[in-house]
Chains A and B, each alone.
Chain A
Amino acid sequence: MSTPAAVVNVGADLLADAIADQAVPVTRVDWRPPLPGTEDDLVTVTLDPLRPCGPQRPSWRANRSGSDRGAGRRRCRREA
């Protein structure tokens, strides 16, 4: 296990600053809260097995077997 080549930070900028201070590249996600009351719906969608990256899809199974990790990086859910 080596030092992570980069960090994707979603949330407190203070923590991203601490990573940057250690000379590791940080991608800061410009995160905004979802509409109030939709949090549970987003969880439901995330767990939907019929989603492109859900457990029933080839990309999910490919990632599980480690044969095609890139497939797991396909578009999986909402995109800004």
Chain B
Amino acid sequence: MTSAGHSHVELRRGAYADSVTLLQVSRTVQGVDGVAAAQVAMATALNVEVLTGMGFAVPVEATTNDMVVAIRLADGGSLEAALAGVERALADSSRRDAGPTEEAPPRTTGSAFRRTPEGVALVSVPGVNAFVEAMDAVEAGRDVMVFSDNVPLEQEVRLKQAAAERGLLVMGPDCGTAVMGGLGLGFANVVRPGPVGIVAASGTGCQQVLALLDHAEVGVTHALGVGGRDLSSEVGGLATREALRRLDVDASVELIVLVSKPPAPEVEAGIRDFAAGLSTPVELALLGAGHPDLTEATEAVLARLGRTVPQWPVTGSAAPPDGGRWLRGLFVGGTMATEAKIIATALLGSEGHTFVDFGDDQYTTGRAHPMIDPTLRLEHLARAADDPQTAVLLLDVVLGHGAEADPAALLAPAIAGVRRPVVVAVVGTAADPQGLDRQVRTLADAGAEVHLSNARATRRAAELLGAAR
């Protein structure tokens, strides 16, 4: 344990908590009276770099299996009180079942399924460790959702091959959203049951379709994520085929929607053939230049079901920019970024405009997803807002289980300080825990123009830049 001046850095050997839990702990400790800055994190290379950048001296012997508690005190702050805050936050961070038990918790996925041989596995350990846990589930004969990203591609292929041999479903890796019989896994939105089944190689793409269908009062019984690489040449749609097969034999599913970022052409052809052989009709929502966007694809789904296409809601109004040249898209949803880029490029050309996906692997190694930890996007938003070349800002906010409890409250102060027009797509349903209406109102009150449709938000941003709609 070291303490220098008002700074305190403590290494806790062998202590472990996941990055999301430690993010919450850090936020809580930062709120303790007398604490100027606090960071509680596993000593991964990225976190050590962050801590060093904050001015903390992390002991050189720290390994990725050690927890670092770093605190900077304000004048008059008490280290004892701050450390007590750390202990309280760590204790409160988990809502594990209370009460006495004679059985220690399982230490592996395999041992958990030997105790309770039913249900599905949800894996969100660091990507380098995810394969072993997911294979445990497959070997136990269970479906598995792999929320983890940064899983090597060759491991994904081996995992899905093993699952396909057993008729099991691997959702992921990097699968952010799934709904199984109404149960939301990961960042799933709260939806009503209904006639639609979704297969999605795109987490936020799936959430956009869920949100739009919910607004149209059409329910979804299952939404099976398969991971963004499933329709790549290497994976070949292994999970997509299994998911389609399952929805096809489910009597409650009247129409299947397949949502994906641009697939590999030869895989797309194979999946089209596979879908054509099913007894349940399949609507393809495959993003790409010249293809319908997700809103248009959802409208096609509604038409196919004989439902009325509603007006997609817009709240607030952005004024045209009085300077700048470029559209700056800052996204937490990868498919939202991809869709916006495709639409904006068609309308504005590819030069100069930028579309950043903060959920990309390069931004999430060793840190929580931006739907949970908005810090990185807020930093970039501040920089983009100060850039005189910025003309219009385009953002997304994605709601649902597991996502930040009140993302609009964190984003609104930053938006209120921006002098450029801000257009936001809020992807969520009326029953989501964050409260769709409240999120929209908060952002609109801060000056943003808020859409439910990401495609409509992008077209509006382009319109503000002077392009024809």
Contact = CB atoms under 8 A, between A and B. Distances in A.
Interface of A: 1-22, 24-25, 27-36, 39, 42-43, 46-47, 53, 60, 63-64, 66, 69-70, 72-73, 75-80
A8 B112 contact: yes
Contacts of A34: 129
Given A1-B222, A14-B372, A63 B20 contact: no
Contact of A43 (B116, B131, B141, B401): B131
A1 B181 contact: yes
A66 B141 CA distance: 9
A35 B129 CA distance: 11
A27 B106 contact: yes
B5 to A, nearest CB: 31
A80 B111 contact: yes
B237 to A, nearest CB: 19
A18 B401 CA distance: 6
B228 interface: no
A51 B107 CA distance: 19
A10 B253 CA distance: 30
Contacts of B65: 32-33, 35-36
Contact of A31 (B113, B133, B250): B133
What 4 A-B pairs come out closest when comparing CB atoms? Answer: A80-B107, A11-B124, A3-B181, A6-B119
A46 B63 contact: no
Contacts, number: 190
B239 to A, nearest CB: 14
Contacts of A76: 110, 136, 139
Interface stretch (B183-191, B419-427, B434-442): B183-191
Interface string B113-124: 111111111111
B125 interface: yes
Interface of B: 14, 16, 18-21, 24, 42, 63-65, 93-96, 104-126, 128-129, 131-133, 135-137, 139-143, 147-148, 155, 158, 165-167, 180-186, 222, 246-247, 250, 372, 401-402, 433
A53 B147 CA distance: 24
A79 B111 contact: yes
A73 B141 contact: yes
Contact of A4 (B19, B111, B181): B181
Contact of B108 (A3, A63, A79): A79
A9 B112 CA distance: 9
Contact of A46 (B96, B113, B121, B131): B131
Given A13-B20, A33-B16, A8 B184 contact: no
B420 to A, nearest CB: 33
A11 B121 contact: no
Nearest to B368: A12
A61 B444 CA distance: 58
B222 A29 contact: no
30 contacts: A1-B181, A3-B181, A4-B180, A5-B118, A8-B109, A8-B121, A10-B109, A11-B123, A11-B147, A13-B18, A14-B24, A16-B122, A19-B183, A21-B433, A29-B109, A31-B16, A36-B63, A43-B155, A63-B139, A63-B141, A66-B166, A66-B167, A70-B117, A72-B141, A73-B113, A75-B114, A77-B110, A79-B111, A80-B104, A80-B107
A33 to B, nearest CB: 6
A69 B106 CA distance: 21
B105 A29 contact: yes
Contact of A22 (B21, B158, B184): B184
A29 B18 contact: no
A73 B117 contact: yes
Given A3-B183, A29-B109, 16 more contacts: A1-B247, A4-B143, A8-B120, A10-B133, A11-B18, A15-B185, A19-B183, A21-B401, A29-B112, A32-B16, A42-B132, A43-B155, A46-B131, A63-B141, A66-B167, A73-B117
